[in-house]
Amino acid sequence: MSRPLAALLVALTALLGACTPTVQQAGPPTEPPSLAGDSLVMPDGTRLPLRVWLPAEGAPRAVVLALHGFNDYSAAFEGPARDWAAAGVATYAYDQRGFGAASRPGIWPGQRALIDDLRTAAALVRARHPGTPFYLLGESMGGAVVMAAMVGPDPPQADGVILVAPAVWGRQTQGPLETAALWLATHLVPWMTFTGEGLHIQATDNIELLRRMSRDPLVIKATRVDAINGLVNLMDTAYDAAARLKVRALILYGSEEQVMPAEAILSALRRLPPAERRIAIYPTGYHMLLRDLNAGIVRADVLAWIEDPDRPLPSGAEQIAERILSSGRDSLKLEEAEKERLAALPALAAGRP
């Protein structure tokens, strides 16, 4: 090896060692966890902002604990939670570590902390509503956290899970160039941020929602490289978890999904144990299914599943999922001939619940 090359390797090694990813670790336990007003207090004293939507009258007939997606926060569930509260279902949602109004927003907390927080939050909310059917709902990154928690040690106790566009784009379905580029960026410039501008990815057809989010200071706009790496690590875990997810589950995706590639989604869906999976694919749905223009269809399906997990969904979106999954295709979109058959599925054809 030439002397200049050896010197370059030594310098590169030193540089890589100096630029390690930043992770905000959970501290040691200092107090009993509690549900204190508008916060969940974790064992290390960290306060996670909490939002609660309760039925106007009487005790709830079911309770949902909802986890938001990457760079989002608990207000994401304002619309669906109000609909469900009107039907007698309570929703609890908290800002996960590193997001929203929680401490150190933008700094990745590590998947162990996210899972531990979910386990603690689930126990606290269940204790507030003893004997009431209890469900976990995760959107995007939140879905990945739920999946990882349910196959790990001491999983949260729940009557079922609802996964809304769960993030499963792990390295198992990424190319070597993507994986290598993220590794280099994570170890060379972990502090560098990206906004996603220029990617031409549409997360929802609800343009007014996107405008509100762009003005919301609690929605993270510039993402650190090491946070992206942390998310991909979590998606690795979620993808692997799909094959071991043996809890009653409702999994929802949209044919217009643009945040994750269809190949990764379908690969994960086909890994699910057949007896446990209830999958729905919405032909007009995007990534933010619960907030799209046709979100009412999805919200109604969630409510119907909570009321009776064995009953067919009112939208008929399960039939679309079955058609797509059984065809062996690598796309979430329907073929033209299949679209014509939507006339037999009134809710989806009309674009309303």
Q: What tens digit of pLDDT does each residue of 189-212 get?
A: 999 999 988 888 999 999 999 999
Confidence of residue 317 (pLDDT cuts 50, 70, 90): very high
Q: Per the structure block, which two tokens stand in for 305?
A: 């599943």
Q: What tens digit of pLDDT does each residue of 121-162 get?
A: 999 999 999 999 999 999 999 999 999 999 999 999 999 999
Q: Measured between alpha carbons, how far is 187 from 17 in angstroms, rounded to an integer?
A: 8
Residue 47 β-bridge partners: 41
Task: Mention the CATH class of domain 25-350.
Answer: alpha beta
Q: What tens digit of pLDDT does each residue of 59-77 get?
A: 999 999 999 999 999 999 9
Residue 63 β-bridge partners: 90, 134
The reported pTM is: 0.92
Q: What tens digit of pLDDT does each residue of 97-125 get?
A: 999 999 999 999 999 999 999 999 999 99
Average pLDDT along the chain: 91
In b/e form, how buried is each residue of 218-242, taking b as 16+ CB within 10 angstroms?
bbbeebbbbbbbbbbbbbbbbbbbb
Q: Do β-strands 249-254 and 223-224 pair in parallel, antiparallel, or remain unpaired?
A: unpaired
pLDDT recorded at residue 336? 65
